[in-house]
Chain A
Amino acid sequence: MSERFFPDGMPQPLADTTSLPFWEAAAEHRLVVQRCQDCGRTRLPPSPVCSECQSDRADWQEVSGLGEVYSFTIVHRPLAADQSLPFVIAVISLEGSGGLRMISNVVGIEPEAVEIAMPGELIWEDMSETLAIPRFRPRS
């Protein structure tokens, strides 16, 4: 099991059949984005059709896990008991993803030191045997 940053009681991911493959890949420590099999456009969160070409044919593309901070907020209110505060929620631009961004956390750094355009890298937090959450830390 990985280093832990957040307590078990954090809100859990909710998924339907469209988005579940993202979390199945995450459990294997693979960060994936959905990719249209007709026009190649990537998308996140997953959706049933491509907003570019309307195709419903899609597969999953693994991304490197390198990214940079696009925006962020330092949150001083807990979501769960025993959560360490403050914590950082960020929008991360994902390298090699076809220009996608995702919401995540920045961990492993003093919150006050986070800034926009800071390079980051993926770190998996195993919340349980079946659940891993992709978070980001400063690039080493």
Chain B
Amino acid sequence: MSGRKACIVGVGETEYARWGKIGDVTEHALACQAIQRAVTDAGLSMQDVDGLASFAEDRNEATFLAAELGLPSLRFANMVWLPGGGGGCAAVGNAAMAVETGQAEVVVVYRSLCQGQFFRFGTGGVDASAPPDPAPPTVQPANSLMLASMGFAMPYGLLMAAAAYALPTRRHMHLYGTRPEHLGLLAVTFREHASRNPRAVMGKKPMTLDDYYASPMIADPHRLFDCCLESDGACAVVVTTEERARDLSRRPVEILASEQGAPQGYAFGPFTNANVADEIYATGGTEEMANRLWGKAGLKPSDVDVAQIYDHFTGCVLMQIEDYGFCARGEGGPFIESGALSWKDGTLPTNTHGGSLSEAYIHGLNHVVEGVRSLRGESTSPVEGAEVCLVTSGACVPSSALVLGRK
């Protein structure tokens, strides 16, 4: 398969906005726009695209987008099953497998989200102000495997992600002495990175540690500023072969390794995984996958120049840092306190775009976009000479990850 090694050759995005701010453009129109921009960035045309991939129960089916965009032939249409943001890197990994095996030549991975037009993830879909059903409460039929599992979380009020992901984080604090200050420093660091990024929804809203402590408690230890944004927007990346990339204008970014992983019993993460092994409960659940990833890439954590780590909640970033081997288990707090994640002097500049906490919440595909920009030297918080970038997807649920390399 000489010359078929997968590369990312284009990235693109729409405007990013606070949830509900994009009301006059449909979610699939945003998907089309992001795909167009990524294909243009690659120096390709829609006539070249023969594959589409997405994740996170994307409402914008590849078959309809292919028709709207006029793809001559859709040879690869793929949807990842990992829950929500766990699948962003996997979608890119699947695109890479498709081009490396010859299933397709040019695959665009996309994610479009208009929380304002559907429902706000932060609420778990519940409207607490609605008048209660006059019928007496009783057991209702679960019409899906997901709902049957959630049936053991919902009656206790466990529907908000901010509450679910607080559970492993709280135990991490109990076991290792992780403190609210560690979580706060992480949020402040990513906000600082966003201040240079014109795309960042929170780019003009600086945050101090005092601001962090002043933000309202949502689900202890999660304050508002521990939680990712809820956004409207879309982004896309273009994957093709190394051979094809040679003829294109952009410096290709090589996909050195991709992995998916769900530890035994992990299902829908902290909504349903109360019975996973004690050793992995207070982790991101990605340690075993991370070891496979480093093995496949032939690299180790210290080889990473810049990282884009999925940040749905601060504690999940801290636990991933341990999972991926950047520090020992339980040392995530002191690692953050050392300034390691800060641009530009930290040992592991992380979320140079501001992440989901401060750029936008596009289910982490925007982390892949930033990973590409950071290796092209186009990040607004550039890490000079960066050659290796780790990108991760949503952890504390079944997850996926990529190692990207500068060609």
Give the docked Cα–Cα distance between A70 and B167 (Å). 9
Q: Decide: A75 and B219 in contact? CB cutoff 8 A.
A: yes
- The answer to whether B128 touches A81 (Cβ under 8 A) is yes
List which B129-172 residues lie within 8 A (CB) of chain A: 129-133, 136-142, 147-160, 162-163, 166-168, 170-171
A74 within 8 A of B: yes
The 8 Å CB contact of B129, one of A16, A51, A81, is: A81
Query: Contact between A79 and B151 (Cβ–Cβ < 8 Å)?
Result: no
For window 1-54 of chain A, which residues contact chain B by CB distance below 8 Å?
Answer: 6-16, 18-20, 23, 43-45, 51
- With A44-B275, A51-B265, A81-B131 as known contacts, state yes or no: A20 contacts B174, CB within 8 Å: no
Distance, CA A8 to CA B151, complexed state (A) = 16
Q: Is B126 an interface residue (CB 8 A)?
A: yes
Q: In the complex, what residue of chain B is closest to A24 when comparing beta carbons?
A: B139
Q: For residue A43, which residues in chain B have a CB less than 8 angstroms away from its CB?
A: 275
A8 to B132, CA, bound (A): 7
Q: Quick one: which of B303-333 are within 8 Å of A by CB? A: none
CB contact list, B7-32 vs A, under 8 A:
none
Query: Is B274 an interface residue when CB atoms closer than 8 A count as contact?
Result: yes
Shortest distance from the beta carbon of B282 to any chain A beta carbon, whole Å: 8
Q: Is B351 an interface residue (CB 8 A)?
A: no
Contacts A16-B142, A83-B128 given; does A10 touch B163 at CB 8 Å: no
Q: For window 150-201 of chain B, which residues contact chain A by CB distance below 8 Å? A: 150-160, 162-163, 166-168, 170-171, 174
Residues from chain A with a CB closer than 8 A to the CB of B124 are 79
Q: Is the CB–CB distance between A12 and B275 below 8 Å?
A: no
- Among B190-249, those with CB < 8 Å from A are 216-222
How far is A135 from B158 in the complex, measured between Cα atoms in Å? Answer: 13
CA distance A101 to B278 in the complex (A): 10
Point out the residue from B137, B152, B216, B219 that lies within 8 Å of A74, measured CB to CB.
B219
Once bound together, how far apart are the Cα atoms of A23 and B138, in whole Å? 10
Residue B281, interface by CB 8 Å: yes
CB of B272 within 8 A of chain A?
Answer: yes
11 A-B pairs with C-beta separation under 8 A: A8-B132, A9-B133, A11-B155, A19-B148, A71-B167, A74-B220, A77-B128, A104-B156, A128-B136, A130-B138, A135-B156
Given A19-B151, A89-B156, A127-B136, 5 extra CB contacts under 8 A:
A8-B132, A10-B155, A89-B167, A103-B156, A116-B170
Which residues of A approach B to under 8 Å, CB–CB? 6-16, 18-20, 23, 43-45, 51, 70-81, 83, 86-87, 89, 91, 100-105, 116, 127-131, 133, 135
> Closest 8 A-B residue pairs measured CB to CB?
A9-B132, A128-B136, A73-B166, A14-B142, A74-B220, A14-B151, A11-B154, A71-B171
